[in-house]
Structure 1
Amino acid sequence: MSVIIWITEGTWPACVDAARERAETADLVLLHVTDDALPEAAHSAFAGLLGRGRPERDPGTRLEDLSRAAADDLFTAAERRLGRPARRLTLHGRAEQQVVRAADGADLLVCARDGDRTYLGPRSLGPATRFVVDHAPCPVLLVWPDAAPGLGTLPPPPHH
Protein backbone atom coordinates (compact mmCIF):
# COMPACT_ATOMS: atom_id res chain seq x y z
CA MET A 1 0.00 0.00 0.00
CA SER A 2 1.35 3.45 -0.86
CA VAL A 3 0.17 6.55 0.95
CA ILE A 4 0.98 10.08 -0.15
CA ILE A 5 0.96 12.72 2.56
CA TRP A 6 0.59 16.21 1.10
CA ILE A 7 2.44 18.51 3.47
CA THR A 8 1.86 22.24 3.41
CA GLU A 9 2.78 24.97 5.83
CA GLY A 10 0.25 25.20 8.63
CA THR A 11 -1.61 21.92 8.09
CA TRP A 12 1.11 19.26 7.78
CA PRO A 13 1.01 18.00 11.41
CA ALA A 14 -2.59 16.78 11.06
CA CYS A 15 -1.79 15.00 7.81
CA VAL A 16 1.25 13.29 9.27
CA ASP A 17 -0.69 12.24 12.39
CA ALA A 18 -3.55 10.82 10.30
CA ALA A 19 -1.17 8.80 8.13
CA ARG A 20 0.81 7.56 11.12
CA GLU A 21 -2.39 6.35 12.84
CA ARG A 22 -4.00 4.73 9.80
CA ALA A 23 -1.19 3.47 7.58
CA GLU A 24 1.24 1.67 9.85
CA THR A 25 2.57 -0.72 7.21
CA ALA A 26 2.24 1.44 4.11
CA ASP A 27 5.00 2.89 2.00
CA LEU A 28 4.79 6.57 2.86
CA VAL A 29 5.61 9.49 0.59
CA LEU A 30 5.85 13.04 1.94
CA LEU A 31 4.84 15.36 -0.90
CA HIS A 32 5.61 19.07 -0.98
CA VAL A 33 4.83 21.29 -3.95
CA THR A 34 6.57 24.60 -4.54
CA ASP A 35 4.88 27.18 -6.73
CA ASP A 36 7.63 28.79 -8.78
CA ALA A 37 5.54 31.77 -9.90
CA LEU A 38 7.01 34.23 -7.38
CA PRO A 39 10.70 33.47 -8.06
CA GLU A 40 9.99 33.51 -11.81
CA ALA A 41 8.36 36.93 -11.52
CA ALA A 42 11.34 38.20 -9.53
CA HIS A 43 13.77 36.80 -12.13
CA SER A 44 11.80 38.48 -14.91
CA ALA A 45 11.52 41.83 -13.15
CA PHE A 46 15.19 41.83 -12.32
CA ALA A 47 16.28 40.88 -15.83
CA GLY A 48 13.90 43.29 -17.51
CA LEU A 49 14.31 46.34 -15.35
CA LEU A 50 17.22 46.23 -13.02
CA GLY A 51 19.85 43.63 -13.36
CA ARG A 52 21.37 43.22 -16.73
CA GLY A 53 24.91 42.05 -16.23
CA ARG A 54 24.57 41.46 -12.46
CA PRO A 55 23.12 37.96 -12.00
CA GLU A 56 24.50 37.72 -8.46
CA ARG A 57 21.91 40.30 -7.39
CA ASP A 58 18.90 38.44 -8.82
CA PRO A 59 16.22 38.30 -6.08
CA GLY A 60 14.60 35.31 -7.79
CA THR A 61 17.64 33.20 -6.89
CA ARG A 62 17.34 34.22 -3.25
CA LEU A 63 13.63 33.37 -3.25
CA GLU A 64 14.41 29.94 -4.72
CA ASP A 65 17.01 29.34 -2.02
CA LEU A 66 14.61 30.39 0.74
CA SER A 67 11.85 28.20 -0.69
CA ARG A 68 14.16 25.19 -0.89
CA ALA A 69 15.31 25.70 2.71
CA ALA A 70 11.71 26.05 3.95
CA ALA A 71 10.71 22.83 2.16
CA ASP A 72 13.69 20.99 3.67
CA ASP A 73 12.72 22.22 7.15
CA LEU A 74 9.14 21.07 6.55
CA PHE A 75 10.28 17.62 5.41
CA THR A 76 12.57 17.26 8.42
CA ALA A 77 9.83 18.22 10.86
CA ALA A 78 7.32 15.90 9.17
CA GLU A 79 9.76 12.97 9.21
CA ARG A 80 10.50 13.56 12.87
CA ARG A 81 6.79 13.63 13.72
CA LEU A 82 6.08 10.59 11.58
CA GLY A 83 8.69 8.57 13.44
CA ARG A 84 9.44 6.22 10.55
CA PRO A 85 11.03 6.32 7.12
CA ALA A 86 9.23 8.06 4.29
CA ARG A 87 10.28 9.01 0.81
CA ARG A 88 10.48 12.71 0.01
CA LEU A 89 8.89 14.00 -3.17
CA THR A 90 9.39 17.63 -4.13
CA LEU A 91 7.46 18.93 -7.11
CA HIS A 92 7.25 22.37 -8.69
CA GLY A 93 4.31 24.10 -10.30
CA ARG A 94 0.64 24.57 -9.50
CA ALA A 95 0.02 22.61 -6.32
CA GLU A 96 -3.37 21.20 -7.29
CA GLN A 97 -2.11 19.88 -10.62
CA GLN A 98 1.04 18.38 -9.15
CA VAL A 99 -0.74 16.70 -6.24
CA VAL A 100 -3.29 15.06 -8.53
CA ARG A 101 -0.50 13.81 -10.82
CA ALA A 102 1.51 12.52 -7.85
CA ALA A 103 -1.53 10.62 -6.53
CA ASP A 104 -1.84 8.57 -9.70
CA GLY A 105 -1.25 4.96 -8.66
CA ALA A 106 -1.35 5.69 -4.91
CA ASP A 107 -3.66 3.78 -2.60
CA LEU A 108 -4.44 6.85 -0.48
CA LEU A 109 -3.81 10.59 -0.44
CA VAL A 110 -3.87 12.40 2.89
CA CYS A 111 -4.52 16.13 2.87
CA ALA A 112 -5.96 18.77 5.19
CA ARG A 113 -8.66 21.38 5.03
CA ASP A 114 -7.03 24.72 4.36
CA GLY A 115 -9.89 27.21 4.10
CA ASP A 116 -12.09 28.78 6.74
CA ARG A 117 -11.91 26.39 9.68
CA THR A 118 -14.37 28.19 11.94
CA TYR A 119 -17.45 26.37 10.66
CA LEU A 120 -18.47 23.26 8.77
CA GLY A 121 -19.11 23.73 5.10
CA PRO A 122 -17.62 24.02 1.65
CA ARG A 123 -15.49 27.05 2.45
CA SER A 124 -13.34 24.91 4.74
CA LEU A 125 -11.48 23.89 1.57
CA GLY A 126 -9.24 26.29 -0.28
CA PRO A 127 -9.25 26.24 -4.09
CA ALA A 128 -6.24 23.93 -4.49
CA THR A 129 -7.52 21.39 -1.97
CA ARG A 130 -11.02 21.50 -3.50
CA PHE A 131 -9.47 20.71 -6.90
CA VAL A 132 -7.47 17.82 -5.42
CA VAL A 133 -10.50 16.35 -3.63
CA ASP A 134 -12.56 16.61 -6.83
CA HIS A 135 -9.91 15.17 -9.18
CA ALA A 136 -7.65 12.80 -7.22
CA PRO A 137 -7.32 9.42 -8.95
CA CYS A 138 -7.27 7.60 -5.60
CA PRO A 139 -9.13 7.66 -2.28
CA VAL A 140 -8.57 10.86 -0.28
CA LEU A 141 -8.43 11.17 3.49
CA LEU A 142 -9.36 14.77 4.25
CA VAL A 143 -8.52 15.82 7.80
CA TRP A 144 -9.20 18.87 9.93
CA PRO A 145 -5.89 20.51 10.93
CA ASP A 146 -7.47 21.51 14.26
CA ALA A 147 -10.51 20.27 16.13
CA ALA A 148 -13.53 20.26 13.85
CA PRO A 149 -16.13 22.96 14.53
CA GLY A 150 -19.36 21.87 16.19
CA LEU A 151 -22.48 20.83 14.35
CA GLY A 152 -24.04 24.18 15.23
CA THR A 153 -21.83 25.70 12.53
CA LEU A 154 -23.45 23.74 9.70
CA PRO A 155 -24.72 26.11 7.03
CA PRO A 156 -28.49 26.21 6.59
CA PRO A 157 -30.04 24.30 3.71
CA PRO A 158 -30.48 26.22 0.48
CA HIS A 159 -33.72 28.14 0.06
CA HIS A 160 -35.75 26.89 -2.90
Structure 2
Amino acid sequence: MDSGGGRARAVVGVSGSPGSLAALHRAVREARRTDAELLAVLAWEPPGGELAHGRAMFTPSVADFRRAAADRLLTVLDAAFGEAGPGVPFQGLVVRGTAGRALVETADRPDDLLVVGAGPRGPLRGLFPSVTRYCVTHAACPVLTVPPSPLEGELASLHRRNSLRLTVDARELTEGGA
Protein backbone atom coordinates (compact mmCIF):
# COMPACT_ATOMS: atom_id res chain seq x y z
CA MET A 1 0.00 0.00 0.00
CA ASP A 2 2.90 2.38 -0.70
CA SER A 3 2.81 4.66 -3.73
CA GLY A 4 6.47 5.61 -3.50
CA GLY A 5 5.68 8.81 -1.59
CA GLY A 6 6.74 7.32 1.74
CA ARG A 7 4.89 5.14 4.19
CA ALA A 8 1.39 3.94 3.28
CA ARG A 9 -1.38 6.01 4.88
CA ALA A 10 -4.80 5.41 6.37
CA VAL A 11 -6.56 8.80 6.31
CA VAL A 12 -9.60 9.17 8.55
CA GLY A 13 -12.07 11.98 9.12
CA VAL A 14 -12.51 12.86 12.79
CA SER A 15 -15.15 15.15 14.26
CA GLY A 16 -15.90 13.57 17.63
CA SER A 17 -19.21 12.12 16.48
CA PRO A 18 -19.90 8.46 17.27
CA GLY A 19 -19.58 7.65 13.55
CA SER A 20 -16.20 9.34 13.25
CA LEU A 21 -14.95 7.54 16.37
CA ALA A 22 -15.98 4.20 14.86
CA ALA A 23 -14.14 5.19 11.65
CA LEU A 24 -11.09 6.23 13.68
CA HIS A 25 -10.87 2.87 15.42
CA ARG A 26 -11.36 1.03 12.12
CA ALA A 27 -8.62 3.16 10.51
CA VAL A 28 -6.26 2.16 13.33
CA ARG A 29 -6.98 -1.52 12.64
CA GLU A 30 -6.36 -0.98 8.91
CA ALA A 31 -3.13 0.95 9.59
CA ARG A 32 -1.92 -1.84 11.87
CA ARG A 33 -2.87 -4.52 9.34
CA THR A 34 -1.08 -2.81 6.44
CA ASP A 35 1.80 -1.20 8.40
CA ALA A 36 0.50 2.24 7.40
CA GLU A 37 0.66 5.62 9.08
CA LEU A 38 -2.61 6.97 10.48
CA LEU A 39 -3.62 10.51 9.54
CA ALA A 40 -6.51 11.76 11.67
CA VAL A 41 -8.03 14.78 9.89
CA LEU A 42 -10.36 17.31 11.48
CA ALA A 43 -11.78 19.77 8.95
CA TRP A 44 -12.99 23.18 10.09
CA GLU A 45 -14.57 26.31 8.68
CA PRO A 46 -15.28 29.64 10.33
CA PRO A 47 -18.76 29.74 11.89
CA GLY A 48 -21.28 30.56 9.19
CA GLY A 49 -18.84 29.48 6.47
CA GLU A 50 -16.18 31.29 4.49
CA LEU A 51 -18.52 33.82 2.88
CA ALA A 52 -20.04 34.96 6.19
CA HIS A 53 -16.61 35.18 7.79
CA GLY A 54 -15.30 37.34 4.97
CA ARG A 55 -18.20 39.78 5.30
CA ALA A 56 -18.27 40.04 9.10
CA MET A 57 -16.95 43.23 10.66
CA PHE A 58 -15.82 41.83 14.00
CA THR A 59 -14.83 38.20 14.14
CA PRO A 60 -12.21 36.28 16.05
CA SER A 61 -9.03 35.68 14.10
CA VAL A 62 -8.58 32.68 11.84
CA ALA A 63 -5.75 31.61 14.17
CA ASP A 64 -8.26 31.41 17.03
CA PHE A 65 -10.56 29.17 14.99
CA ARG A 66 -7.65 26.96 13.93
CA ARG A 67 -6.43 26.69 17.53
CA ALA A 68 -9.93 25.70 18.68
CA ALA A 69 -10.06 23.01 15.97
CA ALA A 70 -6.63 21.70 17.00
CA ASP A 71 -7.79 21.56 20.64
CA ARG A 72 -10.90 19.65 19.57
CA LEU A 73 -8.79 17.15 17.60
CA LEU A 74 -6.53 16.58 20.62
CA THR A 75 -9.58 16.11 22.85
CA VAL A 76 -11.09 13.55 20.45
CA LEU A 77 -7.82 11.62 20.10
CA ASP A 78 -7.32 11.62 23.86
CA ALA A 79 -10.89 10.39 24.42
CA ALA A 80 -10.40 7.65 21.81
CA PHE A 81 -6.94 6.42 22.87
CA GLY A 82 -5.83 8.09 26.11
CA GLU A 83 -2.15 8.71 26.74
CA ALA A 84 -1.17 5.38 25.16
CA GLY A 85 -2.12 6.63 21.68
CA PRO A 86 -3.44 4.45 18.87
CA GLY A 87 -0.48 2.04 18.80
CA VAL A 88 0.50 2.94 15.20
CA PRO A 89 2.50 5.88 13.82
CA PHE A 90 0.08 8.77 13.44
CA GLN A 91 -0.38 12.46 12.79
CA GLY A 92 -3.28 14.70 13.61
CA LEU A 93 -4.07 17.23 10.89
CA VAL A 94 -6.33 20.26 11.14
CA VAL A 95 -7.47 21.33 7.67
CA ARG A 96 -9.47 24.44 6.81
CA GLY A 97 -12.35 23.60 4.50
CA THR A 98 -15.41 21.41 4.20
CA ALA A 99 -14.97 17.90 5.56
CA GLY A 100 -15.38 16.05 2.26
CA ARG A 101 -12.99 18.25 0.34
CA ALA A 102 -10.41 18.27 3.16
CA LEU A 103 -10.42 14.48 3.32
CA VAL A 104 -10.22 13.95 -0.44
CA GLU A 105 -7.40 16.49 -0.78
CA THR A 106 -5.48 14.89 2.11
CA ALA A 107 -5.93 11.33 0.81
CA ASP A 108 -4.36 12.28 -2.51
CA ARG A 109 -2.18 9.22 -3.16
CA PRO A 110 -3.63 6.29 -5.14
CA ASP A 111 -2.45 3.87 -2.44
CA ASP A 112 -3.97 5.80 0.47
CA LEU A 113 -6.99 4.36 2.21
CA LEU A 114 -9.65 6.91 3.15
CA VAL A 115 -11.81 5.79 6.08
CA VAL A 116 -15.07 7.64 6.83
CA GLY A 117 -18.10 7.02 8.98
CA ALA A 118 -21.18 6.23 6.92
CA GLY A 119 -23.09 9.03 8.63
CA PRO A 120 -26.53 9.08 10.16
CA ARG A 121 -29.36 6.92 8.97
CA GLY A 122 -32.97 7.85 9.29
CA PRO A 123 -35.17 10.82 8.51
CA LEU A 124 -32.54 13.54 9.05
CA ARG A 125 -29.88 12.13 6.72
CA GLY A 126 -31.06 14.13 3.70
CA LEU A 127 -30.89 17.49 5.48
CA PHE A 128 -27.11 17.74 5.47
CA PRO A 129 -24.54 17.27 2.71
CA SER A 130 -23.07 13.79 2.86
CA VAL A 131 -19.36 13.75 3.56
CA THR A 132 -19.34 10.04 2.79
CA ARG A 133 -20.99 10.51 -0.60
CA TYR A 134 -18.57 13.31 -1.48
CA CYS A 135 -15.56 11.15 -0.55
CA VAL A 136 -16.77 8.10 -2.45
CA THR A 137 -17.48 10.24 -5.53
CA HIS A 138 -14.29 12.33 -5.55
CA ALA A 139 -11.51 10.29 -3.90
CA ALA A 140 -8.54 9.13 -5.95
CA CYS A 141 -7.99 6.21 -3.56
CA PRO A 142 -10.06 3.41 -2.04
CA VAL A 143 -12.69 4.58 0.46
CA LEU A 144 -13.79 2.42 3.37
CA THR A 145 -17.14 3.47 4.83
CA VAL A 146 -17.83 2.34 8.38
CA PRO A 147 -21.51 1.80 9.18
CA PRO A 148 -22.95 3.18 12.39
CA SER A 149 -22.96 0.86 15.36
CA PRO A 150 -26.36 -0.69 16.15
CA LEU A 151 -25.82 0.66 19.66
CA GLU A 152 -25.76 4.20 18.24
CA GLY A 153 -29.30 3.77 16.88
CA GLU A 154 -30.52 2.30 20.13
CA LEU A 155 -29.00 5.18 22.12
CA ALA A 156 -30.56 7.74 19.77
CA SER A 157 -33.95 6.09 20.18
CA LEU A 158 -33.58 6.06 23.95
CA HIS A 159 -32.53 9.72 23.92
CA ARG A 160 -35.61 10.67 21.84
CA ARG A 161 -37.90 8.77 24.20
CA ASN A 162 -36.25 10.36 27.21
CA SER A 163 -36.49 13.88 25.75
CA LEU A 164 -40.20 13.31 25.07
CA ARG A 165 -40.54 12.10 28.67
CA LEU A 166 -41.82 8.70 27.56
CA THR A 167 -41.53 5.82 29.98
CA VAL A 168 -38.40 3.73 29.57
CA ASP A 169 -38.43 0.24 30.98
CA ALA A 170 -34.98 -0.68 32.31
CA ARG A 171 -35.42 -4.17 30.84
CA GLU A 172 -35.22 -2.54 27.39
CA LEU A 173 -31.66 -1.51 28.18
CA THR A 174 -30.45 -5.06 28.62
CA GLU A 175 -29.69 -7.46 25.81
CA GLY A 176 -32.84 -8.67 24.12
CA GLY A 177 -35.09 -6.71 26.47
CA ALA A 178 -35.11 -9.63 28.90
Instruction: State yes or no: 1:82 paired with 2:86.
Output: yes
Change (3 A) 1:126 1:7: same
Report the Cα offset of residue 113 of structure 1.
1.1
Among 91, 97, 113, the residue aligned to 2:118: 113
Preserved contact between residue 111 and residue 143 of structure 1 (Cα < 8 Å): yes
Preserved contact between residue 3 and residue 27 of structure 1 (Cα < 8 Å): yes
The residue that corresponds to 1:102 in the other structure is 106
Runs of 4+ in structure 1 over 6 Å off: 60-63
The residue that corresponds to 1:8 in the other structure is 15
Report the Cα offset of residue 37 of structure 1.
4.5
RMSD: 3.1
Please give the secondary structure, in 1, of the residue aligned with 2:88: coil
Report percent identity of matched pairs. Answer: 25
The amino acid across from 1:136 in the alignment is A
Rounded Cα–Cα distance in structure 2 between residues aligned with 1:39 and 1:63: 15
The amino acid across from 1:13 in the alignment is L
Preserved contact between residue 43 and residue 61 of structure 1 (Cα < 8 Å): no
Preserved contact between residue 100 and residue 131 of structure 2 (Cα < 8 Å): yes
Instruction: State yes or no: 1:38 paired with 2:48.
Output: yes
The amino acid across from 1:33 in the alignment is A
Change (3 A) 1:36 1:79: farther
Rounded Cα–Cα distance in structure 2 between residues aligned with 1:134 and 1:36: 25
Preserved contact between residue 114 and residue 126 of structure 1 (Cα < 8 Å): no
Rounded Cα–Cα distance in structure 2 between residues aligned with 1:98 and 1:42: 19
Rounded Cα–Cα distance in structure 2 between residues aligned with 1:17 and 1:9: 12
Please give the secondary structure, in 2, of the residue aligned with 1:89: strand
The amino acid across from 2:106 in the alignment is A
Rounded Cα–Cα distance in structure 2 between residues aligned with 1:86 and 1:117: 33
Runs of 5+ unmatched residues, structure 2? 1-7, 154-178
Change (3 A) 1:5 1:78: farther
Residue deviations 1:69-115, cap 9 Å, x none?
A: 32331233345362333111110012211111111114211111113
Residue deviations 1:100-136, cap 9 Å, x none?
A: 1111114211111113258xxx96x952221111111
Rounded Cα–Cα distance in structure 2 between residues aligned with 1:117 and 1:126: 14
